[in-house]
Amino acid sequence: MASLFTKLGQLANSPRGKQAIQQVTEKAQQFAKDPKTRAKIDEARRRFQGGRGHGTSGH
């Protein structure tokens, strides 16, 4: 298993790996800024918290 982590580390530190990480990061930021996505995340959070009794009512 250590060889897998070594290879991942080498990929992450390579120019190709750094470019891929940057592209994925930018895509995730754009996705997170989308109002539709935010609404879905907020709704899922409300359902999860409300279903487990950790939600705060009256907010």
Kindly state whether residue 56 falls inside one of the protein's structural domains. Answer: no
Question: Stretch 33-39: mean pLDDT, rounded?
Answer: 91
Decide if 59 is inside a domain: no
Least confident of 19-23, 31-35, 43-47: 31-35
Separation CA 17–CA 7 (nearest Å):
11
* pLDDT tens by residue, 10-26: 999 999 999 999 999 99
* Residue 47 domain boundaries: 2-51
Phi-psi region of 40 (alpha: psi -120 to 50; beta: other; left: phi over 0): alpha
Structural domains in the chain (count)? 1
Q: Which helix (H) or strand (E) holds 8?
A: helix 2-13
Residue 39 forms part of a structural domain: yes
pLDDT score of 52 more than 70: no
Asked if residue 38 is part of any domain, the answer here is yes
